[in-house]
Structure 1
């Protein structure tokens, strides 16, 4: 019985490791933090190997676990936020004295608009753009209905689009804003 569980875990690990690592890398400030998130995610998977869903659903289940691990990780980061804020302000002062190109300015503005979205909106948009998940897969990963995810995703896209417009970024099919990130229909 123990060998079956181990074999099952090893298969899920080998099949999903790179995707879960990519998910964590895109959401953490450092590779070390991402490695910690991935390790904890798979530690939980090992402890709960009997709860792992079969087949492709295991990957979606792991996204949900990783999302919770990241939430815990972020709460820990808040305690260090005050020191990082001072450093960011110093760096921003350095950049204020340089003249960025038009594309660099637009990318910064896009990033700023994205960071101003709620955590939920950023997560939904990131799952589509970075993880390539459709509404059904996101619903499974987040434990929501497909319809609820579609509605929330539509609203998140709309808020992002309005934020880009407020920042003076034209959103056309050929603009940089339209290419970063590329949205999939769901």
Structure 2
């Protein structure tokens, strides 16, 4: 059954266009990109443009030239996007490195972070949500997909284990270090 949104004969024309010109567009993309994923993206986008603008695609020998033009524009957009993503990733790496490179506000912060890494992931997450994100028990339960009772139990266990690792029972001290506060 034909899709009523697709004009009669459009599907057949597109399939013929695709089968005939796929090898040329593949070679075009292969010679201009570095990775198989990029090749696939350029080919897919080029033929998507052709499908969307099927009425504008010329027939005969001009078809492949039109497709090369479309592929050229797709590739230019792809490169611009890749450049923007690379610049953003670089900026984020620099910001994160700068944030990690700042000296700890609290003298025991490094010890607390080292102890946190040794905790089981579930306990580390409940502590992080409590102290770093400052979420309430019911909010944490929603994030973790469990009951508030389970959150209270996990938090109690996590605090006890962290206190043992830090050899302290001073919960105020531990809380201030986790939150990054100074005295």
Q: TM-score when scaled to structure 1?
A: 0.42
Identify the structure with bigger relative contact order (alpha carbons < 8 Å, sequence gap 6+). 1
